[in-house]
Amino acid sequence: MTGTRIAVVGGGIVGVAVARETLRRQPDSTVTLFEKEDRLAAHQTGRNSGVIHAGLYYQPGSHKARLCRRGVGLLEEFCAERGIRRIGCGKVLVALDHAERARLDDIAARAHANGVPGVRILGPEELRELEPHVRGVAALHSPSTSIVDFARVTEALAADAVADGAEILLGHEVVGMQTARNEVVITARGGGAVRDGAFDRVVVCAGLHSDRLAALVGDGPNPVIVPFRGEYYALKPQRRDLVNGLVYPVPDPRYPFLGVHLTPRVDGEVLIGPNAVLALAREGYRWRTVSARDLADIAGTPAFWRFAGKHWRTGIRELYGSVSRRRFLAAARAYVPELDDDDVVAGTAGVRAQALDSDGSLVDDFRLSFRDRVVVVRNAPSPAATSSLAIAEHIVASLTS
């Protein structure tokens, strides 16, 4: 692959990690990264909760399980080398009743199979010692789970890539890709002009727009991306001592989303959330942000209606939480009874690129598609940020094989 021209589309943490890894493995390559925004990590990378996931939930042997565990080690090493602050605050999955307590055993078994260190089940008194304000009949404790600022990590990865010779084009939106026999021609719009460039290989890490860019190179329509907004509240500074670490619910396999949890961040803020409501635009961080094109795409997607038919009750509950602070906080108060409505202020919001298969089922695992000279990351949900360096290894290895 010496001298190969590589384009990366998307300036989130996965795309930047791919650009860096390419030049680490093949320093004679030329790498150009296209990002439509004026900064890196503008969307999912810069708007997530900042958790470095340990690998508790994931099916052993899945891409998520393998790449998360590999990614944790690589990310922790990178942060240590670059002096990026990482806090090992730990995480508890809190069971509120005996049905949830029974599910903890399965999660613990998965965690042990995935090689997550130090995981154990706590009784209510042990939970209280660890989290004095949290209540539950039991909890699973993951002491190795930590937090970081993924936007800062992305900037550091980008600095490495640029030092190794990468060109990062901010404000350049890819609007066309055409595969010829020996190259891929990318058309990008930026700075009031349109430019074409020819590349030997292309890696698309476009998150919320991955399905649309996949269509440009003739990849199939599935999985389709449906945007779901996650809204947060934040604890007022004087109430941040309500939790010491990450406090999560026990996942319920009947429902498509995890549910509200409490998440300390490296800047000291403590987030409560997120919920999951259908966004009215792919970058719809507020209710008033509406895209007719994006809504038309959702309405014309059979996969969405199949999904909605299965989970409409959950959707209504999430919608109630979006419009009612009291309803939203009730979910968190189940774990932290001392939490009052006036303990919080409105927080940030993010939009999740939820991939749906044609039958309306959520695509759970990471998914890549390979078409001619183009690799498309079709699904990279959490723990993609945690796994980003390992995902980059996996993708770049495919380019060199």
pLDDT > 70? residue 132:
yes
Q: What gap in Å lies between CA 140 and CA 355, rounded to an integer?
A: 29
Q: What is the 3-state secondary structure (H, E, C) of 18-79?
A: HHHHHHHHCCCCEEEEEECCCCCCCCCHHHCCCEECCCCCCCCCCHHHHHHHHHHHHHHHHH
Q: Give the mean model confidence (pLDDT) for residues 215-235.
A: 96
Residue 132, CA atoms < 13 Å, CB-side half-sphere = 3
Same fold: 1-87+144-223+363-401 with 226-358: no
What's residue 180's pLDDT?
A: 85
Cα gap 259→276, rounded to integer Å: 8
Amino acid 385: pLDDT:
98
What integer best gives the mean pLDDT of the chain? 96
Read off the tokens for 175. 């609007």
Q: For domain 226-358, say whether CATH 3.30.9 is its number.
A: yes
Contact call for residues 373 and 179 (beta carbons, < 8 A): yes
Where do the structural domains in the chain lie, given as residue ranges? 1-87+144-223+363-401, 91-141, 226-358
> At 388, which amino acid appears?
S
Q: What pairs with residue 223 in β-bridges?
A: none
Q: Is the pLDDT of residue 37 over 50?
A: yes
Is the pLDDT at 76 greater than 90? The verdict is yes
The pLDDT assigned to 256 comes to: 77
Give me the mean pLDDT over the 304-324 stretch: 94
**Are 391 and 12 spatial neighbours (Cβ–Cβ below 8 Å)?**
no
Per residue in 315-372, pLDDT (tens digit) is 999 999 999 999 999 999 999 999 999 999 999 999 999 999 999 999 999 999 999 8
Q: Are strands 173-179 and 184-190 parallel, antiparallel or unpaired?
A: antiparallel
> Distance between CA 1 and CA 100 in Å, rounded?
51
Please tell me the predicted confidence (pLDDT) of residue 1: 43
88, pLDDT greater than 80:
yes
The listed CATH number (3.20.20.70, 3.50.50.60, 3.40.50.2000, 3.40.1010.10) that belongs to domain 1-87+144-223+363-401:
3.50.50.60
pLDDT at residue 60 greater than cutoff 80: yes
Tell me what pLDDT residue 2 has: 55
Spatial separation of the C-alpha atoms in residues 138 and 249, rounded to whole Å: 11
Quote the CA–CA distance of 154 and 200 in Å, as a whole number: 25
Contact 78, 389 (CB under 8 A): yes
